[in-house]
């Protein structure tokens, strides 16, 4: 993709793009952030397009806002309802969204690959209280992830705070061009953190961690920016010294999907100590990001299938560390292929 200048001129031809083309291009971005990662100047097309969406809103942005901010408590019920709807009932353009909705229902069928115990020699800094940031996917559709994370951290000796007040991290509202909603979400989460006494914040979703790490002085004040940044910790990083006991549910071959928002993957090193020999496929984007599900569901589904197609045929079980990736890839997975958060497959 060639960058466009401020007047939306195609640099290859010098011709001015029609506004319809500009709007359509703005709706094709999955907001994965990979463009920034490889850009020498660290420019983000996703951020530029988010600003464009905010300046020229579309009804899909309002719908996405309502889906995240108001419909969360109904996600599980809608998932079970969607599972009862036959494919033939849905018009072709809506089939991908129907499949995604089905993915919201937690089947609870993930097998345990390993039980974990803390190595007695492992050193744990339990001097600071820990609050779990669940995010909207776990909070609304996968509460078992939060329960599992809490159980593991307690068994490691951490003092956990009751922190149900955290909400959506706000990243999806940024991508959707809803800066006012994003700002409210950030301010809310920071207010909860302050009320808890500014504890360490344990996060098990890569996209949430990425968004939380981007909070700036719009929600934080003074040295809070530094304290907040130092507080954010992946759950896997708090489980150092894990000794795995393999279980019968562990498959012979398995894959790992690296979430795009891990610029430097903070889970994979720990996971390799538990489950060595992972196949990472082509490390492609799953297509879940931004509002691509609404703006171009067919493209979103194609990206998911391409991502899954990057794994060898023998890989039928795939782990990841992002709630959105789990939902997206499971919705597109062929029969017999299961995508799980790593919290699904470990236990005490």
**Residue 17 domain-assigned?**
no
Structure tokens at 11: 């640099």
Structure tokens at 247: 């279980």
The confidence score (pLDDT) of residue 8 equals 54
Please check whether residue 243 is in contact with residue 305, taking contact to mean a CB–CB distance below 8 angstroms.
no
The confidence score (pLDDT) of residue 175 equals 85
**Where is 317: in which H helix or E strand?**
strand 317-320
The confidence score (pLDDT) of residue 3 equals 45
The confidence score (pLDDT) of residue 85 equals 82
304: nearest Cα among 334, 343, 262, 265? 334
d(CA 54, CA 182): 11
Strand, coil or helix: 346: strand
Q: Which residue has 């959707």 as its token pair?
A: 176
d(CA 220, CA 4): 33
Q: Where are the alpha helices (DSSP H) in the chain?
A: 19-26, 34-38, 45-55, 59-69, 75-83, 95-102, 135-140, 143-156, 171-175, 179-195, 206-213, 224-231, 235-238, 268-274, 292-295, 297-309, 323-332
pLDDT in tens, 62-97: 888 998 899 888 888 888 888 788 877 777 766 777
**Residue 318 domain-assigned?**
yes
Q: Which residue has 């759950």 as its token pair?
A: 235
**Residue 279 domain-assigned?**
yes
d(CA 123, CA 156): 10
User: What does pTM read for this prediction?
Assistant: 0.89
Domain with 143 in it: 58-348
The confidence score (pLDDT) of residue 17 equals 66
The per-residue b/e assignment along 165-174, b for 16 or more CB within 10 angstroms, e otherwise, is ebbbbbbbbb
**Residue 11 domain-assigned?**
no
Please check whether residue 130 is in contact with residue 158, taking contact to mean a CB–CB distance below 8 angstroms.
yes
Number of domains in the chain: 1
**Residue 48 domain-assigned?**
no
Please check whether residue 32 is in contact with residue 291, taking contact to mean a CB–CB distance below 8 angstroms.
no
Strand, coil or helix: 243: strand
Strand, coil or helix: 245: strand
- Stretches where the chain sits below pLDDT 70 are 1-14, 17, 93-94, 290
d(CA 151, CA 332): 31
Please check whether residue 329 is in contact with residue 317, taking contact to mean a CB–CB distance below 8 angstroms.
no
The confidence score (pLDDT) of residue 225 equals 94
pLDDT in tens, 221-272: 999 999 999 999 999 999 999 999 999 999 999 999 999 888 788 899 999 9
The confidence score (pLDDT) of residue 10 equals 59
Residue 331's φ and ψ, nearest 5 degrees, are -65, -30
């Amino acid at each position: 993709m060639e960058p466009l200048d401020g007047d939306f001129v195609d640099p290859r031809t010098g011709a001015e793009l029609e506004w319809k083309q500009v709007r359509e291009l703005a709706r094709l971005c999955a907001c994965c952030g990979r463009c920034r990662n490889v850009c020498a100047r660290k420019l983000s097309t996703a951020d530029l397009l988010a600003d464009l969406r905010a300046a020229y809103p579309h009804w899909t942005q309002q719908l996405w806002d309502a889906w995240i901010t108001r419909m969360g408590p109904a996600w599980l019920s809608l998932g079970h309802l969607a599972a009862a709807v036959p494919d033939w009932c849905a018009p072709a353009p809506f089939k991908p969204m129907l499949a995604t909705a089905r993915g919201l229902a937690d089947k609870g069928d993930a097998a345990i690959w390993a039980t974990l115990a803390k190595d007695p020699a492992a050193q744990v800094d339990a001097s600071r209280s820990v609050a779990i940031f669940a995010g909207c996917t776990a909070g609304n559709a996968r509460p078992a992830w939060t329960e599992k994370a809490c159980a593991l951290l307690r068994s490691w000796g951490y003092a956990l705070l009751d922190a149900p007040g955290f909400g959506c991290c706000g990243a999806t509202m940024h991508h959707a061009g809803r800066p006012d909603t994003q700002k409210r979400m950030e301010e809310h989460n920071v207010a909860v953190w302050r009320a808890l006494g500014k504890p360490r914040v344990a996060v098990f979703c890569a996209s949430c961690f990425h968004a939380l790490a981007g909070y700036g002085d719009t929600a934080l004040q003074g040295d809070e920016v530094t304290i907040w940044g130092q507080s954010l910790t992946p759950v896997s990083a708090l489980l150092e010294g894990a000794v795995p006991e393999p279980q019968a549910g562990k498959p012979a071959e398995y894959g790992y999907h690296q979430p795009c928002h891990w610029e430097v993957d903070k889970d994979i090193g720990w996971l390799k100590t538990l489950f060595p020999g992972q196949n990472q496929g082509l490390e492609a984007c799953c297509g879940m990001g931004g509002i691509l599900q609404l703006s171009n569901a067919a493209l979103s589904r194609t990206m998911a299938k391409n991502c899954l197609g990057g794994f060898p045929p023998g890989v039928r079980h795939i782990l990841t560390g992002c709630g959105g990736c789990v939902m997206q890839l499971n919705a597109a997975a062929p029969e017999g292929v299961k995508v799980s958060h790593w919290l699904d497959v470990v236990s005490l």
